[in-house]
Chain A
C-alpha cells in the first residue's frame, strides 16, 4: 500500500500541481573530519507517516535540522512541497516539533500558542481559531491559562507539539515527541498523531521506542553512519533482513569460547553474552542447543521470536535502538 503510495509520489514528483511533501536529494554535511550525513536521498508520499530510526550519533539529528533549514548543506538539496528548504513557502508548509521543550516556561499555554502563531505570520481570527484548534487537539483547553511551568511533563510535551502545528502545516516533523512522558500521556500523544494522519497530514516521526514506530509509521527508514541503510514498510524490512526465519536469542554463561565466531559460523551475531541466530523452523533450536553444549557453552536461556523492527534494527546496526 505504502510502497505504491511512494511509487506514486515518485512518479508525481515532476507534477507541479501535486508536489512531493519532502524530497531529500543526495544531502551531505560534514563537521570537520566527521561526515554526519553522507549522501542521503529519500522522498515521502503525501499523507504518509515516515519513521526515521537510527542509533545515537548516526546523523539523524543533523538530517532533521537540515530538513528544518537550520544546517548549511555541503551538497545536495531538500525541498518541501517543491519549495527549497528555508524559503517562506517551505517554512509555512513545515511544522517542527523539536525534541526539547521549546516553549516559554513563564507564559501560559494560550500565550505560547499566540507567540508561535504570530512568528508563523498568523493574525486576528485566523490566529484565534488556530489557538482554539491546538488547545482542543492537545487536550489543553482547560489549562489554556496555566503557565507552562505548572503543567505536568505530558502536558508540556503536548503543548510543545501544538506550538509546532499552530499554523496547520501540511508536513510535520515530530522529533521524539514522547521522551520522558508516562504511558498515559504517551497514548494521548499517539492519538494526537493519529488524528493528524486522519486529516491527511504528512508526518516524519523519530523515536527511540520501536513499538511507537511499529504502531504509527507506515514507512520506516534506518539511518546509520550518515546513510540510509534500509527503508520500507515494517513487513518489508523484516523480510529483507530475516526472510521467513524466526530469531533465536540465547543467553550464555561465562565462557572462553569466541562467541562472535561461534555465532558467525551459524549465520548469527553475538554481543557480550547474547547470541542472536535465526531458524527457519522452531525445531531447529534443538540443533543449536546441541552444538552449544558440544562446544562447552553454558546456555542460560533461549527465546524464539518472530522478527520485529527491533530485530531488524539490531541486525542492521548491531546496536539496540535505545542503547
Chain B
C-alpha cells in the first residue's frame, strides 16, 4: 500500500515539471550561480575597503605612508579621482573634496594625513601635544570601513616606515635612558642610513610591481592618533534602515509582481483571457492595465514599508517625501514590467513559480537585498548593477541617507525607467502567444 502511495507520488512529481524543477533543478541552479560568484573570490576579488587619501603634510614620511597605503591589499586607496576622458589628469583630493566624495557615496571613508605628521609621526607611550592627529572622514552606513582604515593605517605606519620607526625609537631611547655613547650614536646613524636606503628601494620596487603581500599587523597600541568623524548621517539614528527598507521591499516587490503577472496565466487557463480579448480589449491595453495594477500594488507595498520604518525605526520619512515618491514610482514601474515579462515567457503557474524564484533570489543576493553591499567584493558589486535591487537601494540611500536632491537620481531614473520600458516591450512581444492561434 505504502509502495503504491510512493509510486503515485513520484509519478505525479515527475510529470509536474514545475514542481520537479522546484525540487531538484532550482536548488542546484541557485547553488551554481552562487558558486560561480563567491567561489572565485580569491586575491583581488576579496572585498576591499575604498579609502580616499589626502596628504596635507607632503613630507618624506607622509609620502612613504601614502605609498604604503596604496599597496595595502585590503584597501582600495586613491589619492585622486579616476581619470576620465573629460579629466584625464584629475587633481589630488583635498580634505574638502574628499569629504564631498564621501558624502556623495564615492567611498565610505577618507583618510587625512595631517600637516606636521613628518615632524612627529608616531609616539611611544602617551601621545604628545605636538603629534598631529590623522582624521578619518566616515560614512557610518558602512560600519566596517573606518575601523579597517584605522587598523590598516597603524599597520602601514609600522611596516612601511622602518627608518622613521627606528629614528623615533632612538629619540625615545635617548630621552628615557640617557642617550648613547658617541660610538653607539655613530653606529646607530649608519644603521638608520642603511634602513632609509632599503625603505626607498622597497618604495621604488612597489611602484613598479604593485601591492605587496600583506604583513602581519603590528600591535602598535596607539602609536598614532586618529580622529574618526562621521560626515554622512551624523544626526541620523539608524544608518541601515532605509537600506533594508529598500532592499527587503524590492525583493518582496519582485515576488508580488511575479504573482500579479501570473494572473495572466490563471486567466489564460480559465478562459477569461480569451473572453476579455474577444471583447473590445487589445493585448496591449490588457498588458498596460495589468502593469498599472502591479505597479500600484508595488507602490503601496513600498509606502507601507517606509511608513513602518518611520514609525518603528524613526526613519526620517516625512522630510524626504518628494524623493521617496520619485524612487518608489520608478522602482514600482520597473518591477511591474519585470513581473509582466516573467509571466509572458512562461506557460504555466508552476513554470512561473520556479523561474521567478530562481531569478528573484539571485537578483536579491547580488543586488544587496540579502546582505549589505559593503560586504561584497568589487566583482559582486559590478554584477549587482544588473539588478533592480542595487539601483533601487542606491536611489533610496541617496534620498534618505545622503540627503541628496532629486536631481542626483539621474542614473537610477535612467536605468529603472529604461529597463522597465525595455522589459515591457519584450513582454508584449512574448504575449503574442495569447492573441491568436
Contact = CB atoms under 8 A, between A and B. Distances in A.
Interface of A: 31, 62, 65, 68-72, 88, 91-92, 94, 96, 98-105, 116, 119-121, 163-164, 167
A148 B272 CA distance: 14
B281 A119 contact: yes
Nearest to A167: B279
Given A100-B271, A101-B270, A102-B274, A70 B279 contact: no
Interface string B314-325: 000000000000
A116 B437 contact: no
27 contacts: A62-B437, A65-B274, A70-B277, A70-B436, A71-B436, A71-B437, A72-B437, A88-B280, A91-B279, A91-B280, A94-B278, A96-B275, A96-B278, A99-B271, A101-B271, A102-B270, A102-B274, A103-B270, A103-B272, A104-B272, A105-B270, A116-B276, A119-B276, A119-B279, A119-B281, A120-B280, A164-B275
A68 B276 CA distance: 11
A69 B280 CA distance: 12
A134 to B, nearest CB: 15
A119 B280 contact: yes
Contacts of A120: 279-280
Interface string B259-276: 000000000001110111
A102 B269 CA distance: 9
A183 to B, nearest CB: 25
B414 to A, nearest CB: 36
A98 B272 CA distance: 9
Contacts, number: 54
Given A71-B436, A71-B437, A100 B278 contact: no
B284 to A, nearest CB: 14
A71 B278 CA distance: 11
B278 A70 contact: yes
A164 B280 CA distance: 13
Interface of B: 270-272, 274-281, 436-437
B280 A98 contact: no
A69 B277 CA distance: 9
Contacts of A167: 279
Nearest to B273: A102
A116 B436 CA distance: 20
B271 A98 contact: yes
A92 B271 contact: no
B275 A163 contact: yes
Contacts of A62: 437
Which of A70, A99, A167 is the most central at the interface, judged by chain B CB atoms within 10 Å of its CB?
A70
Contacts of B278: 68-70, 91, 94, 96
B270 A100 contact: yes
A94 B279 CA distance: 9
Contact of B280 (A65, A92, A101, A102): A92
B432 to A, nearest CB: 11
Contacts of B276: 116, 119
A31 B437 CA distance: 9
Nearest to A112: B272
A102 B437 contact: no
Nearest to A73: B436
A96 B436 CA distance: 16
Nearest to A29: B437
Contact of B271 (A69, A102, A116): A102
B275 A98 contact: yes
A105 B70 CA distance: 66
Given A65-B437, A72-B436, A72-B437, 10 more contacts: A91-B279, A96-B275, A96-B278, A103-B270, A103-B272, A119-B276, A119-B280, A120-B280, A121-B280, A167-B279
Nearest to B272: A102
A62 B275 CA distance: 15
Contacts of A100: 270-271
A116 B270 contact: no
A68 B436 contact: no
A92 B272 CA distance: 18
Nearest to B275: A102
Interface centre among B272, B277, B278, B281 (most CB of A within 10 A): B278
Nearest to B279: A119
A71 B437 CA distance: 5
Contacts of B272: 102-104
A102 B276 CA distance: 9
A116 B280 contact: no
Listed from nearest, the 7 A-B pairs whose CB atoms lie closest are A100-B271, A102-B271, A119-B279, A102-B275, A102-B272, A72-B436, A98-B271
Nearest to A92: B280
Contacts of A119: 276, 279-281
Contacts of B436: 70-72
Nearest to A88: B280
B91 to A, nearest CB: 63
A68 B270 CA distance: 17
A116 B274 contact: no
A65 B437 CA distance: 9
A116 B279 contact: yes
B377 to A, nearest CB: 46
Identify which of B270, B279, B437 gathers the most chain A CB atoms within 10 Å of its CB.
Answer: B279
Contacts of B281: 119
A71 B272 CA distance: 16
Contact of B274 (A68, A72, A94, A105): A68
A192 to B, nearest CB: 18
Contacts of A105: 270
A163 B275 CA distance: 9
Nearest to A163: B275
B271 to A, nearest CB: 3
Contacts of A116: 275-276, 279
Contacts of A31: 437
A104 B267 CA distance: 8
Contacts of A91: 278-280
Nearest to A97: B275
A105 B277 CA distance: 18
A105 B271 CA distance: 12
Contacts of A92: 280
Contacts of B277: 70
A71 B271 CA distance: 15
Nearest to B276: A119
A172 to B, nearest CB: 13
A133 to B, nearest CB: 18
Contacts of A99: 271
A68 B279 CA distance: 9
A48 B436 CA distance: 29
A71 B436 CA distance: 5
Contacts of A98: 271, 274-275
